[in-house]
Structure 1
Amino acid sequence: MANHRLENKVFLALLLLVSIAFIWILLPFYGAVFWAVILAIIFAPLQRRLTRRMPGRPNLTATITLCATLLVAVLPVGIIGTLLVQEGANLYQRIESGQLDLGAYLEWIRERLPPSLQQQLNRLGVGDFQDLRERLSGLLLQGSQFLATRAFSFGQSTFEFLVRLAVMLYLLFFLIRDGSAMVARVRNALPLADVQKHRLFTKFTQVVRATVKGNLVVAITQGTLGGLIFWFLGIPSVLLWAVVMTFLSLLPAVGAALIWTPVAIYYLLSGQIWQGVLLTLYGVGVIGLVDNVLRPILVGKDTKMPDYMVLISTLGGLALFGLNGFVIGPLVAALFMSTWGLFTEREEAAVDDHRPAA
């Protein structure tokens, strides 16, 4: 018995060390692996439908699903990313050449504020926009410079990018084709009851799809709608502002309003009343309502997280993982809440079982 326990401990220690070493090896490609898993989960229903229609042909169905993934998810992101980098480079050149002076716009807005409001701002110590001008101009310059440098660095790291893309697509094919068998092996290896394993994996799949669809689809929809109204009003760098609104829409409570609200105020103060009114009504009545209409449909009540949890997890994920953190952060938070929910239900059920009957 003692030897058996020792063997189990040694084996578990070896299993832990090997797992850590394997994760360490995968770290350079964690983004490719992460998105391969996410896309495989999202497109798994399509794979199952194709398998039912074409049984016994797993390679063909996996190839069709992979092609659908490329057309729906991968290629549009690549095209938009390339155009965004070009927009950022153009914006950086305009700022460097002095064609775009954000400080001048702020000073222009301050001069057109009502005298009473200017006096109130002076009492609060924010009447002088010089510090705000420098901060906003610096942020805009840094952001556009980052996008401009991406255009240069992309040419230098094209090979690395292509390798990671190939790794993602290669892994995605096998996850699509053999995903069910892999999940079954992982379920069998977990030392949990069958009911708990079933609920945990079901919850995991629901959370992944709800997080990606609920957050990304809603954000993309809001960014697209914002880009359309900017294009209609003739605002330059439409694609850049649409992408910025998309990212900001991932954050609850603030969202795309951080972009379209200052533009609407500018229109109203400059005498372009109908443009300002149109943008305000469109922002509140169309862009603002997308979250209330689409998110319950895509996410559902069971997996919807509180706004404060989405905000904190998104910012934390962004700080730790970069752009991937927009998905990783809310996903980890949702899984955290789901797992603790299962644990709480199990403990409550155990207490009910030991409670004496009345």
Structure 2
Amino acid sequence: MPLGAAPPGAAPEPPREAGARRARIAFAIVLALLGLWTLHGFLPALVWGAILAIALWPFYRRVRRRWPPRGHDILWPSVFTAGVALLFLLPLGLLLLQAGKEAGSLLRWAQEAQRNGMPAPPWLATLPFGAAQVSAWWQDNLADPGATAELLGRLNQAELLGLGRQLGANLLHRAVLFGFAILTLFFLFRDGEALAAQVLRGSARALGPSGERVLRQMVASVHGTVDGLVLVGLGVGVLLGIAYAVAGVPHPTLLGALTALAAMIPFGAPVVFGAAGLVLLAQGATLAAAGVVGFGMLVVFVADHAVRPALIGGATRLPFLLVLLGILGGVEVWGLLGLFLGPAIMAALTLLWQEWTAA
């Protein structure tokens, strides 16, 4: 039956009422587009708040049932929202503190290099090929204090200042979006049940009986993606943190936490354990560097191609290929939000296709 047509046997709609209904639909569409345009700068924050609320909702509901709220019902929304904020802010604060310490050491190293030059590190002599040529270039260009001062002097201070300002503006913008995401999360926790009922009724009116099933499938996809990304990322961080400690990498605990965060993003963990391998190589520990990089590649391969697709696909009943394409394609189109939106969209499309082609 065409969309908007009257059911069989029903009286035809009067032309005036049909025109009024079409005008209301057009007006609603225009208002919705204007609303999206007005909020487009804050849509990522709203979507992040919704994803966090969906991921934590089962645990939040169990806590509410165990200890029912009283009064204005703001205690548990405030507690959960504050917990999520601290979960992000505490590791970030530790990283910034460590970066500040390392920045001071880097500044002192640059000043020392300008005065005395940069002596060639011992590991240059252990390179499997080109050791003599690289050592000679280092002696000619970096070991001499004058050459080092000239090299460091080539850095354009104006460009560095502009880069710092741009970085500061981007960080401020991200901080504002994070604040709105946390604020959105609070209101979703407080009014989530009423909002969920409204969304289910709206989807049933828009898509018919399959509307509720599509939404539930998308919610299950978000849960599966959170499990697949967060839990697997934590597992990768723990395993590689142990490897860092065994291999003698500086700050193994902090580096393991950074690896866990990076492992939640496709192809993020190799950047961290690759940098750890370079640090070991600079210290002359060639075998340990190769071991860390090789073990990291093995762990990430197993996590990305076996464990993660199984967790996400098991929750959404999606084939492995659609899970992988949903994650990678979602990241390419939507950025980090695509980690969750990609599999959710694939899950909804798969369910609609199955219902459309069902005998």
8 Å CA contact 1:85–1:151 kept in 2: the answer is no
Given candidates 82, 87, 90, the residue that maps to 1:79 is 90
Instruction: Indicate the residue corresponding to 1:202 in structure 2.
Output: 216
Residue correspondence of structure 1 range 90-169 to structure 2 within 5 A: 90-92=101-103, 98-99=109-110, 112-115=126-129, 161=175, 165=179, 167-169=180-182
Measure the CA separation in 2 of the matches of 1:227 and 1:108.
26
Given candidates 303, 324, 335, the residue that maps to 1:307 is 324
Distance 1:200 1:235, change over 3 A: same
Code of the aligned partner of 2:224: A
Given candidates 339, 345, 357, the residue that maps to 2:348 is 339
Distance 1:70 1:201, change over 3 A: same
Code of the aligned partner of 1:314: V
Given candidates 67, 80, 91, the residue that maps to 1:68 is 80
Distance 1:331 1:147, change over 3 A: farther
Instruction: Indicate the residue corresponding to 1:316 in structure 2.
Output: 333
Instruction: Indicate the residue corresponding to 1:249 in structure 2.
Output: 263
Residue correspondences, number = 315
Code of the aligned partner of 1:176: F
TM-score normalized with structure 2 length: 0.66
Deviation by residue 1:275-311 (Cα, 9 ceiling, x = unmatched): 3465356535656545567536743432564435423
Deviation at 1:45, TM superposition (A): 1.0
Structure 1: any 5+ residue segments left out of the alignment? 120-127, 130-136, 138-143, 318-324, 353-358
Distance 1:65 1:287, change over 3 A: farther
Given candidates 19, 32, 48, the residue that maps to 1:6 is 19
Given candidates 191, 201, 217, the residue that maps to 1:178 is 191
8 Å CA contact 1:109–1:269 kept in 2: the answer is yes
8 Å CA contact 1:33–1:171 kept in 2: the answer is yes
Q: Which stretch shows the higher mean deviation, 202-211 or 239-248? A: 239-248
8 Å CA contact 1:46–1:65 kept in 2: the answer is no
Structure 2: any 5+ residue segments left out of the alignment? 1-13, 132-136, 139-151, 153-159
Matched, 1:53 2:78: no
Deviation at 1:234, TM superposition (A): 4.9
Code of the aligned partner of 2:86: L
Measure the CA separation in 2 of the matches of 1:79 and 1:112.
40
8 Å CA contact 1:225–1:287 kept in 2: the answer is no
8 Å CA contact 1:41–1:209 kept in 2: the answer is yes
Matched, 1:272 2:285: yes
Deviation by residue 1:151-186 (Cα, 9 ceiling, x = unmatched): 9669x959x957962x44443333223222212222
Distance 1:307 1:299, change over 3 A: closer
Deviation at 1:340, TM superposition (A): 2.0
Distance 1:106 1:240, change over 3 A: farther
* Same amino acid, percent of matched pairs: 21
Matched, 1:215 2:224: no
Code of the aligned partner of 1:310: I
8 Å CA contact 2:233–2:260 kept in 1: the answer is yes
Measure the CA separation in 1 of the matches of 2:177 and 2:330.
30
Measure the CA separation in 1 of the matches of 2:297 and 2:340.
28
Measure the CA separation in 2 of the matches of 1:279 and 1:224.
13
Instruction: Indicate the residue corresponding to 1:133 in structure 2.
Output: none
8 Å CA contact 1:66–1:172 kept in 2: the answer is no
SS at match of 2:127: coil
Code of the aligned partner of 2:88: V
Deviation at 1:75, TM superposition (A): 0.1
Measure the CA separation in 2 of the matches of 1:202 and 1:2.
38
Instruction: Indicate the residue corresponding to 1:259 in structure 2.
Output: 272
Measure the CA separation in 2 of the matches of 1:339 and 1:213.
19
